[in-house]
Amino acid sequence: MNEHQRHIDENKQVVCVMLASMSPELQRQHENMNVYIMIMHLKELFDDANRNERYKTSKELFRCKMKGGSLVNTYVLRN
């Protein structure tokens, strides 16, 4: 019984910290959720944006090639 109560108390603390770090709009959306549902909802909201950003960054990195005969320091400073 004590373990269960401790688990509930810790979840409440985590929810409070997460809500405090969010914008007011996100706070209103998540104020009545438990920590697990909140995390899943945030993943749904932001995972696609992160995936797209990682893809764009990877694409730029893989296209970044040094031209033959150029100096390494010039190439590094340019990028």
pLDDT at 17 over 80: yes
74 pLDDT tier (thresholds 50, 70, 90): confident
63 pLDDT tier (thresholds 50, 70, 90): confident
Q: Are 72 and 64 in contact (CB under 8 A)?
A: no
Q: In the numeric block, which tokens belong to residue 25?
A: 């709009």
Average pLDDT over residues 46-51: 81
Backbone φ and ψ of 31, nearest 5°: -65, -25
Percentage, residues of the chain above pLDDT 90: 38
pLDDT score at 75 = 67
Helix (H) or strand (E) holding 36: helix 35-63
For residue 74, how many other CB atoms are within 10 A of its CB?
Answer: 11
